[in-house]
Amino acid sequence: MTYFTADKTPLLNFISDALTAGGFTESNSNIVAEHLVDAEMKGVPSHGVNRLGLYIGEAKKGIIDPRAEPIIEQKSSNLISVDGSGGIGIVAMKKAAEAGIKLALNSGIVAIAISNCGHTGRMGAYGEQAADAGFFGLSMGGGGRKLWGNVVPFGGKEPVMSTNPYTLSMPGLKNDPLVCDFAISNWPAGKVAVARANNDALPPDIIIDKNGNPSTNPNDFYDGGALLPAAGPKGSGMGIIAELVGDAMLGKTLEYNWLFILLRVDSFRSMAEYEKAASDFVYEVRNSKPVSDTGTVLLPGEKETKSAEEAEAIGIQISQGVWDSIKTAANDVGILADDYF
């Protein structure tokens, strides 16, 4: 059974009110709710409303401060430091992107360090934000291995790093940014959580159990297992670099620390030249021959764009297992789904 809503407003209000009842400020609740529902619309349920229980639980346990406001400091004409004040990372990252874009519009390039914050949600959202403003964006997160270590290095069976996500983004066609958003593991941990909620088996090569044996049972991940690095040594190497950036470069972490670099795409040639060349290549890729006659060649970020368009037209689809879990999380803080739907 699946839940649909053609109008996202009731879902937004439901999630926002549950977060507020769980201790978040109204402003933070609105930002987080918008982010989670947007992730659902973009077809990324691993970073969507299923996170509601996690965030409320972390606030209740004091892992994050749900009322925190990020502190933004401009270090130079090209550097910004954002202290998340121990709060939810979605708020810190959104405000970091806004501050970075504003500064980089003049300076051309900006590097932003984001630290002392909790989970930042779907990183592709900030990549889209950068691309839509005319920037090449690059972000990476790491430094959380001591608390959140869940990925083994290539050839190993002991987790020494986290999923350490990377995002690369550039403007494509109008309102259609090109965004690569990926964990350095074959799957993000959130996707394993969704599989467990729905009692689904995992594909091969996603996790190993606590003894280092391959497994397709998501429960084995939570029983001392680990995620495998994507593409073997490639994912492993990227994870290690991100771990060094988040830890050795940026310092003590709450969850991950992040480096976010913004570069104006018209820094070396005019925007008109960039847009012409970019659109030519987009059409070249889209018109290239697929492997099968019924196949489709996709650009990075295209799946999310199409998913959002579909959600706007027919509604948001939420799996029954996830829907049950968020209703329970909301009910635990006194918010009843029946009052909204």
Residue 7 pLDDT more than 90? no
Q: Are residues 25 and 145 in the same domain?
A: no
Mean pLDDT of 128-138: 97
Q: Are residues 82 and 100 in the same domain?
A: yes
Residue 5 pLDDT more than 90? no
Mode of pairing for the β-strands spanning 214-215 and 79-87? unpaired
Q: Are residues 61 and 96 in the same domain?
A: no
What is the Cα 100 distance to its own chain's centre? 18
Q: What is the CATH number of the domain that holds 114?
A: 3.30.1370.60
What is the Cα 277 distance to its own chain's centre? 29
232's tokens: 């073997």
Q: Is the pTM of this model over 0.85?
A: yes
What's the pLDDT score for residue 212? 96
Would you say the C-alpha torsion 225, 218, 91, 42 has a positive or negative sign?
Answer: positive
265's tokens: 């795409």
Mean pLDDT of the chain: 95
Would you say the C-alpha torsion 130, 123, 92, 26 has a positive or negative sign?
Answer: positive
37's tokens: 């529902």
2 pLDDT tier (thresholds 50, 70, 90): low
Q: What 8-state DSSP symbol labels residue 246?
A: I
Q: Are residues 87 and 130 in the same domain?
A: yes
Condensed to tens digits (0 to 9), the pLDDT of residues 37-81 reads 999 999 999 899 999 999 999 999 999 999 999 999 999 999 999
| Domain around 3 | 1-67+312-341
Q: Are residues 33 and 174 in the same domain?
A: no
Condensed to tens digits (0 to 9), the pLDDT of residues 101-125 reads 999 999 999 999 999 999 999 999 9
Helix extents (H) in the chain: 9-21, 26-41, 52-61, 89-107, 124-132, 145-148, 189-197, 218-222, 233-244, 271-286, 302-314, 320-331
In a domain, 202, yes or no: no
Residue of 259, 260, 263, 258 lying closest to 104 (CA atoms): 263
**134 — alpha (psi -120 to 50), left (phi > 0) or beta?**
left
Mode of pairing for the β-strands spanning 166-173 and 135-142? antiparallel
Condensed to tens digits (0 to 9), the pLDDT of residues 178-236 reads 999 999 999 988 889 889 988 999 999 999 999 999 999 999 999 999 999 999 999 99
Mean pLDDT of 225-252: 97
**Count of domains forming the chain:** 2
Distance between CA atoms of residues 168 and 165, nearest Å: 10
Q: Are residues 118 and 240 in the same domain?
A: yes
Distance between CA atoms of residues 169 and 202, nearest Å: 29
243's tokens: 């771990």
Q: Are residues 259 and 111 in the same domain?
A: yes
Residue 3 pLDDT more than 80? no
Condensed to tens digits (0 to 9), the pLDDT of residues 306-324 reads 999 999 998 998 988 899 9
What's the pLDDT score for residue 6? 72
What's the pLDDT score for residue 148? 86
What's the pLDDT score for residue 194? 85
In a domain, 304, yes or no: no
Edge-first strand listing for the sheet containing 71-74: 71-74, 79-87, 109-117, 257-264, 135-142, 166-173, 176-182
Q: Are residues 256 and 145 in the same domain?
A: yes
Residue-wise over 193-229: b if at least 16 C-beta within 10 A, else e?
Answer: bbbbbeeeebeeebbbbeeeeebeebebbeeebbbbb
What's the pLDDT score for residue 277? 97
Give every CB contact of residue 158 below 8 A, 6+ residues apart in sequence: 152, 226
Rg of the chain's alpha carbons, rounded to an integer? 20
Q: Are residues 105 and 155 in the same domain?
A: yes
Residue that the structure tokens 């970019």 belong to: 278
Condensed to tens digits (0 to 9), the pLDDT of residues 76-102 reads 999 999 999 999 999 999 999 999 999
175 pLDDT tier (thresholds 50, 70, 90): confident
Q: Are residues 82 and 1 in the same domain?
A: no
Residue that the structure tokens 């933004």 belong to: 72
Distance between CA atoms of residues 227 and 148, nearest Å: 12
Mean pLDDT of 163-174: 95
Distance between CA atoms of residues 211 and 204, nearest Å: 16
Residue 1 pLDDT more than 70? no
Residue 269 pLDDT more than 70? yes
What's the pLDDT score for residue 65? 98
Mean pLDDT of 140-154: 94
Q: What is the CATH number of the domain that holds 56?
A: 1.10.1530.10
Percent of the chain with pLDDT over 70: 99
Q: Are residues 25 and 141 in the same domain?
A: no
In a domain, 253, yes or no: yes
Mean pLDDT of 162-181: 95
Mean pLDDT of 225-251: 97
